[in-house]
Amino acid sequence: MDFVLSGIAACSACLFTNPLEVVKTRMQLQGELKGRGTYQVYYRNVFHAFYTIGKVDGLAGLQKGLVPGLVYQFFMNGVRLGSYAVIESSGYIHTDGRVSAVKTTAAGAAAGVVGAVMGSPIYLVKTHLQSQSTSSIAVGHQHKHQVFSRDSWLVALSAGMISSVVVVFAMTPFDVVSTRLYNQPVDHRGKGQLYQGFADCFSKTLKKEGVTGLYKGLGASYFRLGPHTILSLLFWDRLRKLYQRYR
């Protein structure tokens, strides 16, 4: 039941924070593999991006990818928080009756990796849908499909998944790499046409865009991270208390 309650809590938070995820995705794809000053800047900052997407794509545009986003949150954070709850209840994080900082960190990291692996294929679809926009403000590769394809699965189960696991430990700049790996076009063999893997994407972005290219969408990432974390834990705590009361 911990897994279900955790998933519901994460989905509830996603309803409020998904627009910032859309903004983050667009900003991370803007000017992909192009030097500063050589491309059209559609999104100048978090607030301008929020306004631009709402104005051009409509309010619904700010909730693009919501359905796969909810599914992703249920699997990723549901598994993450649920796994941590199981580890915690088993007494693993305690040493001589006290909470161990080292064991708590290890348990959190392990739970995060499991969640990232489980949610990786869903994250790919979410990224594709969130990047779709009206041509006048389009950035990155515009995927037309709205369901899983064979090529999508191959990408998700290779470099994209690796980057998602890395993001668990260090959000930015590896989050930029993760978004670009997931959103890149693939050929009929499931091979990325822009990047050959995590290291290749990282090095190409650094070479073409400089260090700042690896930090695109940083503001949106952290504007989203705080509220999402607080809301997830708040809903999780309330749901657990309700479950304990009425079971």
pLDDT in tens, 93-140: 777 778 778 878 787 777 777 777 777 788 888 999 999 999 999 999
| CATH code: domain of residue 94 | 1.50.40.10
- For 166-178, the pLDDT digits (tens) are 555 555 567 898 8
DSSP code per residue over 9-45: HHHHHHHHHHHHHHHHHHHHHTTTT--TTSS--S--S
Residue environment code for 117-133, b if the CB has 16+ CB neighbours within 10 A, otherwise e: bbbbbbbbbbbbbbbbb
pLDDT of residue 150: 57
pLDDT of residue 157: 55
Give me 8's structure tokens.
């519901």
Q: Model pTM?
A: 0.83
Q: How many domains are there within the chain?
A: 1
Residues of the domain holding 146: 2-246
Q: Which residue has the tokens 């794809």?
A: 29
Beta bridge partners of 186: 192
